[in-house]
């Protein structure tokens, strides 16, 4: 099978359509297992009580916030070096989801911080750099929306994200640089190895659920973007004919 | 309460995102159907 | 004083020049771009002075807002001066490419025998000379108003001299990406300010550490490292951004 075939939007469109249900179902199943592990099976922490359960959602969202940006940067490299339209579309499709996860990471972090540290917001390295990450997402979305020429918007956005991704390592670096309140590694909240393994498992499953969700949503959004652009170009009618009948029915139902 | 606030916010965000995406695809379908009707009218 | 431009030239010199035209050395184009842009900037002195006055006024606003308490002012001085420098540089960014974009000079620049990264490096160097360096030179005066001692003033100037070129470099990327875009200036702020944050942290951090009697070397070294890396990489990013915007 030739994977390069799927680099074209027209062939990728039906493939994405077939993949979405799988990722969506996986996301739902993993989320169910993860929530069962995190909210039911895992015992309360002897210091923090029930509140620590927030980390089962906080840590995965924070991971996703960072990883989605890196994935966007990788697509950006592809978009610029191979002039790949689909890569730019994937970036555009991922950005809102990444921004959403960043907001959620900040929100859940604040709700975890209030009972644990006594303040919703603390100017420590991680929270601050997550906030910067949100600014980076917003900057990308603002730039690509401000430029009317789609081709230029794609490339400008790709370059911006690549430059911005230099900031992501600084996030980790800054954690060491300012030695502040935030706990070193998130997993070290635990006490006792048995519970630690349970917590690690719960977080891992939740993180996988977030991954699957992000992929499903990004694929659904990239499908919308593909058609929107075709409609703008006025070539939608011809392009639609290249789809097989099932995809067409699904589209115009 | 903090736990519910966190998980609830995530659930809400997911619902909002999926709804917006759904609305977007519905709008596209309308556009496609419109253009189809246009074409049929033009053909006649 | 020309640390940024010299560094920026590095990779281009080591890379292959144009073999057909041996006389056209990259550094020549660099010097020409610097000379041209500096001359242009000084011809309209108003803009250079305005940015400087803006810097001074913003810094002077803080004591009025916070109160004349010396100990407090001394503590916030590094941050205040650095934030004001950041905003001042930000305001001058549209000047980097906008007029050249409007009158077509930028397209000429792409056609010139010199590699585009060299030319934009020259423009960045000139931008720093007229809008970054003056800030560093006037900063001691402002520092005195905030009660910094001579050691702290020295570190403040050093941090500004090392840090403001990075502001010009990163800012050039934003300025090039938003050429001709509606609402460009506020967009540049949105794109570039997040990238400025590390510079702000290390720049203000250097002065804060020396004020606290700690070793400030690490902060300055990090700024220096940022300057080196920025000088080696940003000309290429800016050249790519210019190409994207002119396509």
Q: How far apart are CA A150 and CA A147, in angstroms?
A: 7
Of A61, A78, A142, the residue nearest C194 (C-alpha): A142
Percent of chain C with pLDDT over 70: 90
Q: How far is A171 from chain C (nearest CA, A)?
A: 10
In a domain, A249, yes or no: no
pLDDT of residue A3: 58
In a domain, A102, yes or no: yes
pLDDT of residue C224: 93
Range of the domain at A73: 11-224
pLDDT of residue C167: 94
pLDDT of residue C56: 94
pLDDT category of residue A248 using cuts at 50, 70 and 90: low
Percent of chain C with pLDDT over 90: 36
Whether B6 sits inside 8 A of A240 (CB atoms) is no
pLDDT of residue C99: 82
A35 pLDDT higher than 70? yes
**pLDDT tens digit string along C53-102?**
999 999 999 989 988 888 888 888 999 999 999 999 999 998 888 888 88
pLDDT of residue A245: 59
pLDDT of residue A60: 92
Percent of chain A with pLDDT over 70: 76
In a domain, A122, yes or no: yes
pLDDT category of residue A1 using cuts at 50, 70 and 90: very low
**pLDDT tens digit string along A221-242?**
999 998 888 887 766 556 666 6
Average pLDDT over residues C181-188: 84
Residue of chain B nearest A234, judged by CA positions = B35
A80 pLDDT higher than 80? yes
| 3-class SS of residue C19 | coil
In a domain, A233, yes or no: no
Interchain contact C195–A (C-beta under 8 A): yes
Chain B interface, best mutation among A103, A220, A222, by max B CB count within 10 A: A220
Contacts of C240 in chain A (CB under 8 A): 80, 159
**pLDDT tens digit string along A85-118?**
899 999 999 999 999 999 999 999 888 888 877 7
- Residues 6 or more apart whose Cβ sits within 8 Å of residue A96: A141, A221, B17
Average pLDDT over residues A153-175: 80
Question: Which burial class, exposed, middle or buried, applies to C215 when counting CB atoms under 10 A from its CB (0-12, 13-18, 19+)?
Answer: exposed
B11 pLDDT higher than 50? yes
pLDDT category of residue A195 using cuts at 50, 70 and 90: low
pLDDT category of residue B5 using cuts at 50, 70 and 90: confident
Q: What is the CATH number of the domain that holds A107?
A: 1.20.120
pLDDT of residue A174: 53
In a domain, A111, yes or no: yes
Given the structure tokens 């920025």, which residue do they identify? C230
Of the listed ranges A66-75, B34-43, C23-32, C75-84, the least confidently predicted one is B34-43
Q: How many CB pairs under 8 A join A and B?
A: 69
Of A53, A114, A221, the CB nearest to B21: A221
Look at chain A and report how many structural domains it folds into: 1
Average pLDDT over residues C161-175: 94
pLDDT of residue A104: 95
In a domain, A171, yes or no: yes
In a domain, A152, yes or no: yes
Residue of chain B nearest A52, judged by CA positions = B3
């Amino acid at each position: 099978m030739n994977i390069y075939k799927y680099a074209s939007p027209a062939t990728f469109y039906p493939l994405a359509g077939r993949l979405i249900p799988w990722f969506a179902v996986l996301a739902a199943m993993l989320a169910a297992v993860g929530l069962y592990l995190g909210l039911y099976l895992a015992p309360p922490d002897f210091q923090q009580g029930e509140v620590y359960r927030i980390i089962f959602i906080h840590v995965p969202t924070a991971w996703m916030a960072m990883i989605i940006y890196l994935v966007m940067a990788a697509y950006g490299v592809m978009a610029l070096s191979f002039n790949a339209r689909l890569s730019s579309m994937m970036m555009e499709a991922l950005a809102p989801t990444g921004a959403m996860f960043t907001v959620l990471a900040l929100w859940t972090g604040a709700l975890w911080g209030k009972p644990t540290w006594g303040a919703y917001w603390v100017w420590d390295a991680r929270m601050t750099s997550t906030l910067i990450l949100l600014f980076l997402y917003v900057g990308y979305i603002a730039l690509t929306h401000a430029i009317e020429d789609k081709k230029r918007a794609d490339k400008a956005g790709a370059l911006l994200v690549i430059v911005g991704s230099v900031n992501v390592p600084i996030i980790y670096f800054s954690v060491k640089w300012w030695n502040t309140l935030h706990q070193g590694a998130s997993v070290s909240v635990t006490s006792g190895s048995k519970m630690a393994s349970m917590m690690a498992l719960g977080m891992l499953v939740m993180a996988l659920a977030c991954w699957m969700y992000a992929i499903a949503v990004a694929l659904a959004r990239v499908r919308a973007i593909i058609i929107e652009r075709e409609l703008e170009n006025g070539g939608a009618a011809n392009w639609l004919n290249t789809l097989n009948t099932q995809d067409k029915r699904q589209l115009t139902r | 309460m903090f736990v519910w606030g966190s998980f609830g916010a995530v659930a809400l965000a997911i619902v909002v995102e999926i709804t917006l995406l759904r609305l977007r695809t519905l709008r596209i379908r309308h556009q496609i159907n419109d253009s189809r009707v246009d074409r049929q009218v033009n053909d006649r | 004083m020309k640390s940024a431009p010299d560094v920026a030239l590095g990779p281009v010199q080591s890379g292959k020049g144009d073999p057909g035209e041996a006389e056209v050395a990259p550094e020549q184009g660099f010097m020409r771009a610097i000379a041209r842009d500096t001359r242009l900037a000084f011809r309209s002195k108003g803009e250079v002075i305005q940015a400087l006055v803006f810097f001074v006024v913003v810094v002077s606003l803080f004591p009025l807002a916070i109160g004349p308490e010396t100990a407090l002012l001394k503590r916030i001085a590094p941050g205040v001066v650095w934030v004001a420098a950041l905003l001042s540089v930000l305001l001058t960014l549209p000047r980097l490419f906008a007029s050249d974009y409007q009158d077509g000079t930028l397209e000429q620049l792409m056609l010139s025998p010199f590699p585009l990264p060299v030319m934009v490096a020259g423009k960045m160097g000139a931008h720093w000379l007229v809008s970054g360096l003056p800030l560093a030179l006037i900063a001691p005066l402002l520092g005195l108003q905030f009660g910094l001692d001579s050691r702290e003033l020295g570190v403040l100037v050093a941090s500004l001299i090392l840090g403001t070129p990075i502001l010009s470099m990163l800012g050039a990327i934003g300025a090039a990406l938003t050429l001709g875009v509606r609402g460009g200036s506020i967009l540049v702020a949105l794109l570039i300010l997040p990238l400025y944050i590390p510079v702000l942290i290390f720049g203000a951090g250097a002065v804060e550490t020396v004020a606290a009697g700690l070793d400030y070397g690490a902060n300055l070294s990090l700024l220096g490292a940022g300057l080196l890396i920025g000088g080696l990489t940003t000309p290429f990013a800016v050249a790519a951004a210019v190409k994207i915007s002119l396509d």
